[in-house]
């Protein structure tokens, strides 16, 4: 998969989360996906398990959004914002 294709998948997943379209978000992941984070150092395995973990998270932070910041150069970096960082469009 090219860099451009990877970026398109990341952008689609970001949009799906921001739209709270968890069906779409789930379809963007391979069955072999493992999500690791500080709360789950052993990893959450599979798109359905990742989706299930998002429910309580999105309930706790209902206005959280993913935002892509553009930096000089060809790369883009997704950044999570906390509810306190959110601004009305």
Residue 74, pLDDT score:
60
Mean pLDDT along residues 66-86 = 58
- Residue 63: inside a domain, yes or no? yes
For the stretch 20-73, pLDDT in tens is 999 999 999 999 999 998 888 899 999 999 999 998 989 999 999 988 776 666
- Residue 34: inside a domain, yes or no? yes
pTM greater than the 0.85 cutoff:
no
Q: How confident is the model at residue 88 (pLDDT cuts 50, 70, 90)?
A: very low
Q: Which domain holds residue 65?
A: 3-84
**Helix runs in the chain, H state only:** 3-18, 22-27, 47-60
Residue 89: exposed, middle, or buried by beta-carbon count in 10 A (0-12, 13-18, 19+)? Answer: exposed
Domain containing residue 71: CATH number: 3.10.450.50
- Residue 8: inside a domain, yes or no? yes
- Residue 24: inside a domain, yes or no? yes
Number of structural domains, the chain? 1
- Residue 89: inside a domain, yes or no? no
């Amino acid at each position: 998969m090219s860099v451009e294709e990877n970026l398109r998948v990341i952008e689609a997943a970001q949009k799906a989360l921001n739209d709270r379209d968890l069906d779409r978000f789930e379809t963007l992941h391979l069955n072999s996906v493992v999500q690791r984070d500080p709360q789950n150092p052993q990893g959450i395995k599979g798109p359905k398990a990742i989706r299930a973990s998002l429910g309580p998270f999105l309930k706790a932070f209902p206005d959280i959004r993913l935002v892509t910041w553009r930096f000089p150069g060809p790369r883009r970096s997704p950044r999570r914002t906390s509810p306190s960082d959110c601004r009305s469009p």
